Amino acid sequence: MVKSNRLTKLLLYIFAGVVAVYLLLPLLMILLTSVGSGSASKFPPEGLTLKWYANLGEQTQFLVAFKNSLIASTGAVLLALITGTLAALAIVHHPFPGAGILRAFFVSPMVMPKITLGIAYLILFSKMHIAGGLFALILGEAVIVLPFVLTLVGSALANLQPAHREAAADLGAGPLRIFFTITLPQLRLSLLLSGSIAFVFTFDQVEAALLLLRQDSYTLPIQLFLYMEKWQDPTIAVVSVVLIAFALALFMIIKLVLRSVPGLESLFGGRKNKRRTGS
Amino acid sequence: MNRIADRIVNLYSSKNRRWITQLLLLLPALALMGIVYLGGLLIFGRYSFDIYENGKLIRGWEWDAYRAFLSDPYYWKLIGTTFRVAFKVTLWSLLLAYPLAYCIAGLKKPGMKQLLLLLTFLPLLVSAVVRSYGWQLLLSKQGFMNWLFIRLGITDEGFSMIYNETGVVVALVHIFLPFMVFPILNVLSQSDVSLKAAAQDLGAGSWRTFLTITLPLSARGIASGVQIVFTLCLTAFTTPQLIGGGRVMTLPVFIYQRTLDTNWPMAAVASMFLLVSSIIVSLLVNKGAELLMFRRSRKGGQAYG
């Protein structure tokens, strides 16, 4: 009995290890290709070189695209955070008839096929004469990430203690003052969380941006996508490595920020401890 | 002048204040969603009633595009491919994700657990374009997978795994696997340990415990995983386009190509079909999971009660 148990466990670990390798393999292959000296994607590579990295400096279009991506993602996330938080306040704190339907409407971009949205944006923004630029993309992406903000901030709002707000109101604070001194600080975690999820999500958006953008406003995934359709040289691998490094750095920063915000540490520690004992 | 100002002040009286505040709070989101989202979709949807002939759009209120889409076998083949790929990807993700989630949930060493969690969620941070590129490298004729297969003696010439459905499925499973692991892991780490212990105390073996306790308890997680992955697959565009190289025609790829040659009526009709079918799939999966759990509990009640 105990023996067979141990065997299943061992098999389970081996299986998990194999799946982990499967998950990591494409990233490792990109890393290998970026330092391979052959120009084609052949395995095993003929030699090792850093010349593709040296080449990257000349590929200014990727640098411009990276900057465009940063601008578009930041703009869309800020827009979604502001509109989403205000709407969540209205829906959660002062429910009204039809609030549920409105909420469902605001969250519905989640199920909408992104390619459909991309084409709808193309047509709409062409009629408004703003297609091709980053401003149109910011508007369009904000719609796509609004559901993240609304869900996360909305559930945080629902969990807040009304007593805190009532106490502030009793002491004579106006609604604006209550919002900025009581509600907003308590929303910090969910704003940060939904903001970073939204940022990572918009940074990778292809469908909404592919048809909408003009050459000088391409974002990084679009530039990569179009480059990949035409050419197949290790430059893409190098750009991909840089992107992976950027994603890792972002992940670390988010983790650090979450740790350094006072009051959040215990929350995260608490959750981790619960999981540990639960297993 | 003063009277108008008075009226405006009066309007913002305590009686109306709540409603006006409410409206002001909702206004930014309403404007954004109303103009950009609803406006865009309505204008695009309107094109589904136009006629596309010889590369030109003719305004009208016709059902031609809908009729063509639903009657031509070519489009049904397209729908078939889309659903077949989504089904394969969902099945494989489930087969890979469940043991992985079970393993992570059962690990007692926090270090190992965190490492596996990180490995599972790290790919999520990396762009789908980049990951598709990785799979292109792995699956190409001279790529790593074929090198490995030839070394192992499975094949002499290597398989062609790119620009076909196999390649698309392998890459899509990689891209959506975390979405399957997460909901299953969630229910597995929440489920009550005492239930498992009780079953074992009553003499159930580890397999029996798993089949009668753990698996039914995780039905909810499996259902939401299946729901997320299946609908994401139906609407996936980047990977089928890049790995399929135009040779694996799924609905999103088809929509993209029709847009490029400005056949907006057909693109709009196909989009509508995609949206409706992903909503129906979500509802069906939910309903199915509910029925399954309900029947189990009822059967259990009869057998032991």
Could you give the CA distance from residue A259 to residue A253 in angstroms, rounded to a whole number? 10
Testing the interface with B: which of A130, A252, A279 to mutate, by most B Cβ within 10 A?
A: A279
pLDDT recorded at residue A40: 64
Residue A101 near residue B272 (C-beta atoms within 8 A): no
Could you give the CA distance from residue A71 to residue A75 in angstroms, rounded to a whole number? 6
Chain A closest-CA separation from residue B141 CA (Å): 9
Six token digits for residue B83: 């659903």
Identity of residue A208: A
Of B235, B226, B215, B244, which Cα lies nearest the Cα of B287? B226
Could you give the CA distance from residue B260 to residue A138 in angstroms, rounded to a whole number? 22
pLDDT recorded at residue B210: 79
- B249 Rama class: left (phi>0) / alpha (psi -120 to 50) / beta: beta
DSSP annotation string for B152-209: TTS-SS----SSSHHHHHHHHHHHHHHHHHHHHHHHHHHS-HHHHHHHHHTT--HHHH
C-beta pairs of B11-16 under 8 Å, 24+ apart in sequence: none
Does an H or E element contain B56, and which? strand B56-58
* Mean pLDDT of chain A, nearest integer: 85
- Predicted TM-score (pTM) of the model is 0.87
**B283 and chain A in contact, CB less than 8 A:** no
| Segment B113-125, tens digit of pLDDT | 888 888 888 888 8
Would you say residue B183 has pLDDT above 60? Answer: yes
pLDDT recorded at residue A269: 38
Nearest residue of A to residue B104, measured between CA atoms: A16
* Mean pLDDT of chain B, nearest integer: 87
Chain B residues 194-223 with a CB less than 8 Å from chain A: 205-206
Predicted complex ipTM: 0.85
Chains A, B: CB pairs < 8 Å: 244
Number of other CB atoms surrounding residue B283 within 10 Å = 11
Chain A closest-CA separation from residue B69 CA (Å): 17
DSSP secondary structure code for residue B58 in this structure = E
Identity of residue B99: P
Would you say residue A1 has pLDDT above 60? Answer: no
> Scanning the structure block, which residue is given the tokens 């904000």?
A142
**A3 and chain B in contact, CB less than 8 A:** no
Would you say residue B209 has pLDDT above 90? Answer: no
| All domains of chain A in start order, with CATH | 66-160+194-254 (1.10.3720.10)
Helix, strand, coil shares of chain A as percentages rounded to 5?
Answer: 80, 0, 20
| Segment B20-39, tens digit of pLDDT | 888 999 999 999 999 999 99
Residue B93 near residue B182 (C-beta atoms within 8 A): no
Least confident piece of the model among A85-99, A247-261, B166-180, B273-287: A247-261
Residue A26 near residue B138 (C-beta atoms within 8 A): yes
Q: Which residues pair with B57 in a beta bridge?
A: B52
Chain A closest-CA separation from residue B67 CA (Å): 20
Could you give the CA distance from residue A63 to residue A61 in angstroms, rounded to a whole number? 5
* Percentage of chain A modeled with pLDDT above 90: 46
Distance from the Cα of residue A69 to its chain's centroid: 12
Six token digits for residue B117: 């969690």
Would you say residue A274 has pLDDT above 60? Answer: no
Residue B234 near residue B278 (C-beta atoms within 8 A): yes
Number of other CB atoms surrounding residue B93 within 10 Å = 26
Cβ within 8 Å, pair B40-A120: yes
Confidence of residue B301 (pLDDT cuts 50, 70, 90): very low
The CA angle B111-B112-B118, to the nearest 5 degrees, is 90
Chain A closest-CA separation from residue B305 CA (Å): 29
| Segment A177-220, tens digit of pLDDT | 888 988 999 898 899 889 988 998 899 899 999 999 998 899 99
Would you say residue A93 has pLDDT above 70? Answer: yes
Q: Which residues pair with A213 in a beta bridge?
A: A132
Cis-peptide into A44, omega within 30 deg: yes
| Segment B38-59, tens digit of pLDDT | 999 999 999 999 999 888 888 8
pLDDT recorded at residue B182: 92
Q: Which residues pair with A36 in a beta bridge?
A: A48
Q: b/e string for A2-29 if b means 16 or more Cβ within 10 A?
A: eeeeeeeeeebbeebeebbebbebbbeb
